[in-house]
Amino acid sequence: MSLKIGMVGTGQMAQGFIPLFKAHPLVGEVVLCDLDAAKLRANAEKFGITRTCPSLDDILGMDVDAVVLITQHWLHGPQAVKSLRAGKHVYSAVPCAETIPEIQEIIRAVQQTGRLYMMGETSYYYPHVVWCREQYRRGTFGDITFADASYHHDWDIKSIDSRGIIRARTGDKFLEIAGSPPMHYATHSISQVVGVTGAHMTKVSALGWRDRHPDGIYDPAVNKYRNAFSNETALFAMSDGACARVNEFRRVGHPGGEFMTLCGTEASFEYTQAGRVIIGKGFEDTKRLDDILTIRPGVYGGTAAAHDVARLPKEFAGMPNNHWGSHQFLVDDFVQACVTGEQPPNNIWQAARYMIPGLIAHDSAEQGGVQLAVPDLGDAPKA
Ligand SMILES: NC(=O)c1ccc[n+]([C@@H]2O[C@H](COP(=O)([O-])OP(=O)(O)OC[C@H]3O[C@@H](n4cnc5c(N)ncnc54)[C@H](O)[C@@H]3O)[C@@H](O)[C@H]2O)c1
């Protein structure tokens, strides 16, 4: 089978994905699409793409099998529903949507059309998450009793120009949108835990830290979310009896990234900026995992020893693979799902379990930490 893929949005994040979809052996054609005609032309030339299209609405009338939405985050929910209802499989960059009704609408569209949906959650493929998922499956940890996951992304981290990227994404709506509640983007932290154990959050109590920075991003009178918190911390009860703490920090003296600790009855895992270790019950049982989990440059463009690169198409060798080795796996999993018709990892039911807990956590933080139930939209249907 040879798929035709419509790539909608040719901005910063799409740069690593356009060449990967184009190179995948099961993809026959990539059609590029962007509202910005100059950007579209430049990317078509850069990546050697012959067919282009000026908007999502137009590409939905074309002969593409699937669309890849790498557009601004507040557009994802409605664009996914529209695309599914037009008969296309959908890959969407995170987050899947901004509200629970939008997520429910995507589920309905998947059920009614029989098309597939996958959210591009990068954390799910990070080396430490891949490794812990396998160790959990083997029983190394025993029962998980506690998990701690965080996503630190200060506005002024030194590795990327966060303000410039979000300004490019939001235009004159920068101050209206940039101050969204940190817990509304908790998918990178929550997916680390849910992506290892498969358990989901059932209850939450959260608190927020009122921002003090003079840039006005978290001024509740300015941003459309009326949000005052730049940092939020949530304590969740989980369906397997564990509890999980999640930190989403946007003002933090830290270079940034996703981190996780798991405490199991038999072993524990710790990943902080200082390194990664697995720990047993004796001091002598501590083993450093940096050799296995550090991304090394190589044939598969940045993977760790924990990654199963043998499953990747050989055409990906030497190609970009950003976000800690996740991009090639994301592309391959979506393409394979379109071809086999099987639910991909991070389908909409799983994506709901990454997103909804954070949405409810922010509600709790706004109410001073009152404990709230986290709705669960269930499992993906079995094939
Ligand atoms: N780790 C991660 O998973 C991660 C990291 C970075 C960004 N992202 C996600 O990637 C997404 C894109 O980020 P970006 O920085 O590339 O944004 P961007 O603003 O640079 O690019 C988005 C593009 O989509 C186009 N677009 C929007 N609506 C369209 C429509 N109806 N038809 C055609 N084109 C349309 C815009 O013109 C724009 O060029 C964001 O939603 C973000 O959440 C995820």
63-89 per-position pLDDT tens digit: 999 999 999 999 999 999 999 999 999
Residue of the CA atom closest to atom 7 of ligand 1: 13
Mean pLDDT throughout 291-300? Answer: 91
Residue-averaged pLDDT of the chain: 97
Residue 283 pLDDT: 94
Mutate to test the pocket of ligand 1, among 17, 35, 60, 72 (most ligand atoms within 8 A of CB): 72
Q: Are 98 and 358 in contact (CB under 8 A)?
A: no
Q: Are 306 and 130 in contact (CB under 8 A)?
A: yes
Distance 119 CA to ligand 1 centre (A): 14
CATH superfamily of 3-115: NAD(P)-binding Rossmann-like Domain (3.40.50.720)
Distance 287 CA to ligand 1 centre (A): 40
Residue 331 pLDDT: 98
Residue of the CA atom closest to atom 13 of ligand 1: 13
**Band of pLDDT at residue 297, cut at 50, 70 and 90:** confident
Mutate to test the pocket of ligand 1, among 71, 173, 258 (most ligand atoms within 8 A of CB): 71
Q: Are 51 and 29 in contact (CB under 8 A)?
A: yes
Task: Give yes or no for residue 298 having a pLDDT over 90.
Answer: no
**Band of pLDDT at residue 1, cut at 50, 70 and 90:** confident
10 Å CB burial of residue 346 (0-12, 13-18, 19+) is buried
Task: Give yes or no for residue 327 having a pLDDT over 80.
Answer: yes
Distance 177 CA to ligand 1 centre (A): 14
Please report the atom of ligand 1 found closest to the CA of residue 94: 43
Chain segment 330-357, per-residue pLDDT in tens? 999 999 999 999 999 999 999 999 999 9
Residue ranges lining ligand 1, Cβ < 6 Å: 8-14, 33-36, 39, 55-56, 70-73, 75, 93-94, 120, 122, 165, 168-169, 323
Mean pLDDT throughout 150-172? Answer: 96
Residue 300 pLDDT: 87
Residue of the CA atom closest to atom 5 of ligand 1: 13
Fold agreement between 3-115 and 124-311+353-373: no
* Long-range pairs of 94-100 with CB within 8 A, sequence gap ≥ 24: 94/119, 94/120, 94/121, 94/122, 94/185, 94/187, 94/188, 95/119, 95/184, 95/185, 95/187, 95/355, 96/348, 96/351, 96/352, 96/355, 97/355, 98/73, 98/74, 98/184, 99/359, 100/356, 100/359, 100/375
Please report the atom of ligand 1 found closest to the CA of residue 95: 43
Looking at 3.40.50.1370, 3.30.360.10, 2.60.120.10, 3.30.470.20, the CATH number of the domain 124-311+353-373 comes to: 3.30.360.10
Distance 10 CA to ligand 1 centre (A): 7
Please report the atom of ligand 1 found closest to the CA of residue 9: 24
Task: Give yes or no for residue 282 having a pLDDT over 90.
Answer: yes
Mean pLDDT throughout 119-136? Answer: 98
Distance 109 CA to ligand 1 centre (A): 22
Mean pLDDT throughout 41-50? Answer: 98
Spans of all domains in the chain: 3-115, 124-311+353-373
Task: Give yes or no for residue 383 having a pLDDT over 80.
Answer: no
Residue 141 Ramachandran class (φ > 0 left, ψ -120 to 50 alpha, else beta): alpha
Distance 152 CA to ligand 1 centre (A): 21
Distance 13 CA to ligand 1 centre (A): 6
Please report the atom of ligand 1 found closest to the CA of residue 323: 1
SS3 287: strand
% of the chain beyond a pLDDT of 70: 100
